Amino acid sequence: MVEPATDTIAATKLVPLLKDELDIVIPTIRNLDFLEMWRPFFEPYHLIIVQDGDPSKIIKVPDGFDYELYNRNDINRILGPKASCISFKDSACRCFGYMVSKKKYIFTIDDDCFVAKDPSGKAINALEQHIKNILSPSTPFFFNTLYDPYREGADFVRGYPFSLREGAPTAVSHGLWLNIPDYDAPTQLVKPLERNTRYVDAVLTIPKGTLFPMCGMNLCFDRDLIGPAMYFGLMGDGQPIGRYDDMWAGWCTKVICDHLGLGVKTGLPYIYHSKASNPFVNLKKEYKGIFWQEEIIPFFQAATLPKDCTSVQKCYIELSKQVKEKLGKVDPYFDKLADAMVTWIEAWDELNPAGAPAKVSNGKA
Amino acid sequence: MVEPATDTIAATKLVPLLKDELDIVIPTIRNLDFLEMWRPFFEPYHLIIVQDGDPSKIIKVPDGFDYELYNRNDINRILGPKASCISFKDSACRCFGYMVSKKKYIFTIDDDCFVAKDPSGKAINALEQHIKNILSPSTPFFFNTLYDPYREGADFVRGYPFSLREGAPTAVSHGLWLNIPDYDAPTQLVKPLERNTRYVDAVLTIPKGTLFPMCGMNLCFDRDLIGPAMYFGLMGDGQPIGRYDDMWAGWCTKVICDHLGLGVKTGLPYIYHSKASNPFVNLKKEYKGIFWQEEIIPFFQAATLPKDCTSVQKCYIELSKQVKEKLGKVDPYFDKLADAMVTWIEAWDELNPAGAPAKVSNGKA
């Protein structure tokens, strides 16, 4: 006699979603006390900590977390000359963690991000919401006015083509921030006291053909689907620009997702962003980006990829060529960046040989 | 001595926004008791009531409202043979109201829509929110992850090009519905008990190049900017299809807004949609649309307008040619519809001669 399961609800609640298929990547220069607040949500998962700055500094990780930690010496040792593509003294270094992970999914979060509350006062399990976002399809080809149609209590509205209701695989889930909004230096300077207090209870797909400013503070993605496009560029030490690492990754990722028919969602979950970075320091890092983006964005809006670009790697190499050709004229920095994009893919492929099964990694480095 | 004003706040509160520049258009077949609930918000405005069905029936309008009312006989008298472009026995007839209005803005609402409450329990002045939406710019060229950047407490996020921060003029504000969601007949049949209870506190611009299902239940637009594109097609009596009137208008409008650089917003305000229409009746009206839309939507997604289409009328006439050429193959209905699109523009121009100033109309018809 076949018996139905009786305790599935209890079981789903006890086993954290994707426990063995997701790594949490955290770039940092300090002790990771912020993890205490995340303990109930993050403790079951494996952490990849990318230590930026002085490698001799000891980063303390609260007890009980399963992690591996890489400092600059580790990066140089593992990548050799290809380590040049990984930024130093900038949180862009986090993308090294994406490369060494062997899991299917990555969640990355900044160490000044804490657990936010929903309007009912309940602590938001940001990771759980990201996983929900990424495991359900996206709707990049037509806008649904009731937002994510796969969410409980929602559906596709009248006039939504039935042929599109299966959606597209979701490659990226972009979460938002309560308290300190992700503003650029000029806006920070003009509105020093502005806080984001509006909880918008929505997840939506960014339509095909539309670019968006992707923030790396609270971000989840599918490494298998889009990982090699999540390169955070050359920022920080020795570079003329900072704070555009996640933007760069977002533009490249969105163009490639659009080409490959993958979805990008934004909205829930919120984290609580505790502290605004210094706007004067930010302005110094950003000012070239502020005028470069006026040329970079039209470049990405116009970028098209040939049909034979059927893998993320092929798309990314093609994009690097277009960057060199079209943005090289804007500043020699983009020549260097285009080369680094190629190095990044070479390093990615070295660490992630084709056909290698996603391994469950554990233990400390 | 120059004295500052002291009572501006009181004055703004007392004078309803755009009182002499906005008409409320209501299609109906019954007494308009629903207006009682809207009295505090609608009473200062002029109403245009388009009576559908039997013209001999008397429609009661609650006392105190300023309105003009048109029944089928009026439509036939005013438009003569061109009245053929106005649908009968279908709420698509509402677009006659857009045509006879002399105001800059239109708000249209169904007579089964009531005042909704926000999460704090406060009655939502839907019209006021629409006016806010339409008087502030849209952001069709780049997505802002904190939604409407012009809203209090929000702004453009890091990475948003400064050159795009002036936005584009807003032509359309599409509001949503609590309680009964706007589902098609198959979804109604499958989920008869689903109610929309999620209040999403956001207004966002539908990006350029993205189509959406525009619902005519709770809709505001700028007649000067987009009026002639707001044709609700041939539906109902004598036509093979119903319940696609607003969808048709939405597709045409969005393509033309994209071409002319105008914005379309969706989200707030919510109205309370009281009663689901009969799904069996709806299925009969919709079933051709359900398979036609699989060809109509790719048609509109691919539609481009030549540069010399610099007015809404020119765009619309051009679109009618493309409808005839490309959709005429799908069904002879689209030939007829394409002709009606031309008739609509002729009738529009007759009633709205070029250069005529927007007049303040009042009194009952």
Look at residue A113 in the predicted model and tell me its pLDDT: 96
Shortest alpha-carbon distance between residue B141 and chain A (Å): 8
B residues 200-219 lying closer than 8 A (beta carbon) to A: 200-202, 204, 206-215
Look at residue B222 in the predicted model and tell me its pLDDT: 98
HSE at residue B313, side-chain half, CA atoms within 13 A, is 12
DSSP A324: I
Q: Which two tokens stand for residue A204?
A: 């939506």
| Contacts of B26 by beta carbon, 8 Å cutoff, 6+ apart | B32, B47, B48, B49, B50, B94, B97, B108, B109, B110, B111
Q: Which two tokens stand for residue B269?
A: 């305000």
Mean pLDDT of the A193-219 span: 97
- Of B163, B209, B250, Cβ closest to residue A294: B163
Q: Which residue type occupies B125?
A: N
Shortest alpha-carbon distance between residue A104 and chain B (Å): 26
| Phi, psi torsion values for A220, nearest 5 degrees | -130, 145
Q: Is residue B195 part of a domain?
A: yes
Shortest alpha-carbon distance between residue A243 and chain B (Å): 9
Read off the pLDDT band of B11 (50, 70, 90).
very low
Q: Taking CB atoms and an 8 Å limit, are B198 and A153 in contact across chains? A: yes
Please tell me the total count of domains within chain A: 1
CA–CA dist B345, B122 (Å, integer): 41
Task: Please check whether residue A197 touches B, CB under 8 A.
Answer: yes
Look at residue A54 in the predicted model and tell me its pLDDT: 97
Residues of A in contact with B146 (CB under 8 A): 176, 181, 196
Cα–Cα–Cα angle for A157, A198, A195, nearest 5°? 150
Provide, rounded to the nearest whole percent, the portion of chain A with pLDDT above 70: 93
CA–CA dist B364, A185 (Å, integer): 56
Q: Taking CB atoms and an 8 Å limit, are B155 and A191 in contact across chains? A: yes
Q: Which two tokens stand for residue B108?
A: 């249209």
Nearest to B331 by CA among B304, B299, B283: B299
Residues of A in contact with B199 (CB under 8 A): 201
Best mutation target, A138, A145, A196, A252, to test chain B (most B CBs within 10 A): A145
Mean residue pLDDT of chain A comes to 93
Residue A344: in which H helix or E strand, if any?
helix A333-351
- Of B155, B187, B200, Cβ closest to residue A147: B200
**For residues B174 and B265, is the Cβ–Cβ distance under 8 A?**
yes
Task: Please check whether residue B4 touches A, CB under 8 A.
Answer: no
| Contacts of B13 by beta carbon, 8 Å cutoff, 6+ apart | none
Q: Is residue A263 part of a domain?
A: yes
Look at residue B357 in the predicted model and tell me its pLDDT: 53
Question: Is pLDDT at B7 greater than 80 in this prediction?
Answer: no
Look at residue A15 in the predicted model and tell me its pLDDT: 73
Cα–Cα–Cα angle for A199, A202, A204, nearest 5°? 140
Task: Give residue-wise pLDDT tens across range B253-274.
Answer: 999 999 999 999 999 999 999 9
Read off the pLDDT band of B95 (50, 70, 90).
very high
Look at residue B1 in the predicted model and tell me its pLDDT: 45
**ipTM exceeding the 0.95 mark:** no
Look at residue A255 in the predicted model and tell me its pLDDT: 98
Question: Is pLDDT at A360 greater than 60 in this prediction?
Answer: no
Shortest alpha-carbon distance between residue A160 and chain B (Å): 6
Q: Is residue A72 part of a domain?
A: yes
Q: Is residue B56 part of a domain?
A: yes
Nearest chain B alpha carbon to A204: B145
Read off the pLDDT band of B355 (50, 70, 90).
low
- Of A157, A198, A209, Cβ closest to residue B213: A157
Q: Is residue B286 part of a domain?
A: yes
| Phi, psi torsion values for A326, nearest 5 degrees | -95, -40
Q: Taking CB atoms and an 8 Å limit, are A158 and B290 in contact across chains? A: no
- Give the ranges where B88-222 is alpha helix by DSSP (H): 95-100, 126-135, 185-190
Q: Which two tokens stand for residue B151?
A: 């809203």
Question: Is pLDDT at B2 greater than 80 in this prediction?
Answer: no
Burial class (CB in 10 A: 0-12, 13-18, 19+), B106: buried
Task: Give residue-wise pLDDT tens across range A135-176.
Answer: 999 999 999 999 999 999 999 999 999 999 999 999 999 999
Task: Give residue-wise pLDDT tens across range B324-338.
Answer: 999 999 999 999 999
- Give the ranges where B116-273 is alpha helix by DSSP (H): 126-135, 185-190, 223-226, 245-260
Task: Give residue-wise pLDDT tens across range A259-283.
Answer: 999 999 999 999 999 987 899 999 9
CA–CA dist B354, B357 (Å, integer): 9
Strands B218-222 and A170-179: unpaired
Q: Can you name the residues that pair with B291 across neighbouring β-strands?
A: none
Question: Is pLDDT at A68 greater than 50 in this prediction?
Answer: yes
Shortest alpha-carbon distance between residue B111 and chain A (Å): 19
State the sign of the Cα–Cα–Cα–Cα dihedral B334, B336, B337, B338.
positive
Task: Please check whether residue B120 touches A, CB under 8 A.
Answer: no
Look at residue A14 in the predicted model and tell me its pLDDT: 59
Look at residue B3 in the predicted model and tell me its pLDDT: 56
Please, what is the angle between helix A312-322 and helix A333-351, to 10°? Answer: 160
Q: Which residue type occupies B141?
A: F
Q: Can you name the residues that pair with A69 across neighbouring β-strands?
A: A49
Q: Taking CB atoms and an 8 Å limit, are B213 and A158 in contact across chains? A: yes
Q: Is residue B211 part of a domain?
A: yes
Q: Taking CB atoms and an 8 Å limit, are B215 and A161 in contact across chains? A: no
CA–CA dist B82, A134 (Å, integer): 52
Residue A220: in which H helix or E strand, if any?
strand A218-222
Residue A349: Cβ within 10 Å count: 13
CA–CA dist B49, B27 (Å, integer): 6
Strands A105-109 and A218-222: antiparallel
Look at residue A3 in the predicted model and tell me its pLDDT: 56
Q: Taking CB atoms and an 8 Å limit, are A153 and B243 in contact across chains? A: no
CA–CA dist A360, A62 (Å, integer): 22
Shortest alpha-carbon distance between residue A244 and chain B (Å): 8
**For residues B254 and B294, is the Cβ–Cβ distance under 8 A?**
no
Residues of A in contact with B121 (CB under 8 A): none
Which CATH number goes with the domain that contains B52?
A: 3.90.550
Read off the pLDDT band of A356 (50, 70, 90).
low
CA–CA dist A105, A23 (Å, integer): 6
B residues 231-250 lying closer than 8 A (beta carbon) to A: 243-244, 246-247, 250
Question: Is pLDDT at B15 greater than 80 in this prediction?
Answer: no
Look at residue A167 in the predicted model and tell me its pLDDT: 98
Q: Is residue B357 part of a domain?
A: no
Read off the pLDDT band of B10 (50, 70, 90).
very low
Nearest to A18 by CA among A104, A140, A136, A117: A104
CA–CA dist A140, B143 (Å, integer): 13
Look at residue A77 in the predicted model and tell me its pLDDT: 98
Task: Give residue-wise pLDDT tens across range B146-195.
Answer: 999 999 999 999 999 999 999 999 999 999 999 999 999 999 999 999 99
A residues 125-184 lying closer than 8 A (beta carbon) to B: 142-147, 153-163, 174, 176, 181-184
Look at residue B356 in the predicted model and tell me its pLDDT: 61
- Of B181, B201, B209, Cβ closest to residue A146: B181
Nearest to B38 by CA among B81, B2, B72, B67: B67
3-class DSSP state of B174? strand
CA–CA dist A75, B290 (Å, integer): 56
What is the secondary structure of B90-106 as a DSSP string? SGGGGHHHHHH--SSEE
Question: Is pLDDT at A133 greater than 70 in this prediction?
Answer: yes
Q: Is residue A216 part of a domain?
A: yes
Nearest to B316 by CA among B251, B240, B256: B256
**For residues B170 and B262, is the Cβ–Cβ distance under 8 A?**
yes
Task: Give residue-wise pLDDT tens across range A305-330.
Answer: 999 999 999 999 999 999 999 999 99
Q: How far is CA A202 from CA A147, A199, A281, B184, in A?
A: 6, 9, 33, 22
Mean residue pLDDT of chain B comes to 94
Domain region containing B43: 22-352
3-class DSSP state of B315? helix
Nearest chain B alpha carbon to A248: B159
pTM, whole model, 2 decimals?
Answer: 0.93
Dihedral of CA atoms A114, A118, A122, A125 in degrees, nearest 10, equals -50
Nearest to A286 by CA among B159, B154, B143: B159
